[in-house]
A and B are shown apart, each in its own frame.
Chain A
Amino acid sequence: MSTTFETVAGIIAETCDIPREKITPESHVINDLGIDSLDFLDVAFAIDKAFGIKMPLEQWTQEVNEGSVSSDQYFVLTGLCANIDKLVAAKAA
């Protein structure tokens, strides 16, 4: 988890020019860090590449828009990193 978080936080800091110390496991990438949708595409591309995965962003966004899942589950870093770990584990299986 810590490795995933460090990697993701590093990607966000570099891609969005956000000071690394402002990025915590509790940060919500949109509400707290102010990352817009275009910058989030850059972040998603860098995460997909770094972990060799394809984050199902369309599915996540649909679930959040439908209200079936809180956006925190996908867009607070703790939740995002847990989902990345699941995708990496599923790929390795």
Chain B
Amino acid sequence: MRLEYFQMIDRVEALDAEARTLRAACAVPEESPIFEGHFPGYPIMPGVLLIETMAQAGGWLVMGVLHRFSHMAFLVQAREAKLRSFVTPGAALTAEARILHDGSGYAVIAGAIREGGKRVAEAEIIYRILPFPNETLRARMLETARRVGMPAEWLEQAAS
């Protein structure tokens, strides 16, 4: 994870297009300017960044499985968000996402984060699905999708 760049997903470890699920590895850095403020002398991952982590895991799932990267998934709602435990620097997290609904112009996922098998956060997340607003964002999203390990054949289709 590079928190200050909002790079929350390190690597997609499992992607099941039929079951519509994704699991990703997310290593919390030992050091980050974020921890200087949250909190001084007691560094813990901000809850909003845990929600963002679930949103990004689900976002890759929705954009890849449902739209093959033709559209962007924008977070518009987090429901029933629960932050069950503090997450500290150096934690090895697993983010999970499962598609609950493929709507017209929107999608809904169930997200969760585990640390050592223990569930530390969960939320139901809704995205608005829109065309990429510009080529810069589209290119950067495809590049990031490649970096995190989304299927190469989907990315080749999207890039062509």
Contacts and interface: CB of A to CB of B under 8 A. Distances in A.
Contacts of A58: 104-105
B101 A45 contact: yes
Contacts of A38: 76-77
Interface string B91-132: 000000000011111101000000000000000001010000
B77 A57 contact: no
Interface in A29-55: 38, 41-42, 44-45, 48-49, 54-55
Interface of B: 76-77, 101-106, 108, 126, 128
B-side interface mostly: strand
A33 to B, nearest CB: 19
A59 B103 CA distance: 12
B144 to A, nearest CB: 26
B45 to A, nearest CB: 27
A59 B106 CA distance: 13
Nearest to A40: B106
Contact of B126 (A41, A56, A59): A41
Given A41-B106, A44-B104, A59-B104, 14 more contacts: A41-B76, A41-B77, A41-B103, A41-B126, A42-B126, A44-B103, A45-B103, A45-B108, A48-B103, A49-B101, A54-B102, A54-B103, A57-B106, A58-B105
Contacts of B128: 41
A57 B101 contact: no
Contact of A57 (B76, B102, B104, B126): B104
B104 A45 contact: no
